[in-house]
Structure 1
Amino acid sequence: MSHLPEHLLVGYRNFMKGRYAAESERYVSLAREGQAPETMLIACCDSRSAPETIFDSGPGELFVLRNVGNLIPPFEPDQEFHSTSAALEFAVDVLKVKNIVIMGHGRCGGIRAALAQGGKPLKPGDFIGKWMSLIHTAAAAVASTSVMTATERETALERISVRYSLNNLRTFPQIKAREEAGELTLYGAWFDISAGELWAMNRETGDFERPSLD
């Protein structure tokens, strides 16, 4: 009887024979000296949009936070549990990252759920609906737009949600202060799963544009 799913064990064996064997010294160095990534990347939990794969990143290069819909809540210093805020605090205050990137993606289930309910919770007390209510105002506005197809509405809200989360990042005092001091830069991105296209948010206009690959 295996203590882990077989496909994970197969993947681990391949990892040990491949990437770990090729970069063992780097792993040993990271274990001994600790991590010092320059970039924090906030992405969705969706299994199809793994940041390390999309950006071909090696060990220690990205500090990754993933949650449903790649959302950032506003700064709320209360006595509740805040995993996303805790990760942000660690990245900014301890690791001193220089960049924070929020990356949305196409065909996002969380975004689709928010649109289906106009931003309202799916049912009383549910976790996903409550979480996605962070973008209730935008979801309600986009859902009511009849001139767009369902796919167009999803893409629009996926990108709008990135801008919402960037605004919420700036409600964290330490993030706002470091950005204003030129010590931290905030970015937005959107990844199209079906085409493999990456779109970067223009930091001046908010528009999403294809970066040059040359």
Structure 2
Amino acid sequence: HPHSKIGDNVRIDDNTVIGKKPLSSPRSIFKIKDNYSPTIIGNQCQIGANVVIYVQCKIGNNNLIADLATIREDTVIGDLNIIGRNVTIENYCQIGNRNKLETNSYITAYSKLEDYCFVAPCAATSNDNYMGRDPERFKHFKGVTIKTGGRIGVNCTVLPGKTIREDAVAAAGAVITRDLPKKQIWAGNPAKNFKEVPKAQLIKYNLDKKK
């Protein structure tokens, strides 16, 4: 779209849209603004086919954004992230550096991922404890937070406002109803403490230095 800014050595595949303005229904919570700043794509990014990146996003350098991914408006993404096929990142999200979001994962609005986070396929996050009912919900929208090195397993569900702390793991299929402490693996529905994260898996021993 006009005014979008594309960095150097960026690959953009077929049918991808950059700088799309959002739609709004009379029933939508988020209303369209009169003016948006342009989307900015950093250097050496690879963007697959049929990707939609909305207006007023800022994407850093060396990111891979795979086919069919969607990134909503007002989202900021750092450097060296892998955003997998059909991943959805909703609006007002902050994504740091060197994160990996795998196929079909869903990051709800107002979420924050720090660095070196891992989100497995089909993991889902949420931001509305009222499930669309009760005007009180408008005061309490809150996305999830994943601290540096936090990981979420396949088909995990994280409820609104919850924090996955540093090096914590939400196991496959877990339903996260409370904040996870550092370096613990939680499993089940509702999730409970299962065991400590093995020392060899702690992020300080697994830092990726690739540029």
The structure richer in strand per residue is 2
| Structure of higher RCO (CA pairs closer than 8 Å, 6+ residues apart) | 1
Q: Same fold (TM over 0.5)?
A: no
**What TM-score do you get using the length of structure 2 for normalisation?**
0.28
The structure richer in helix per residue is 1
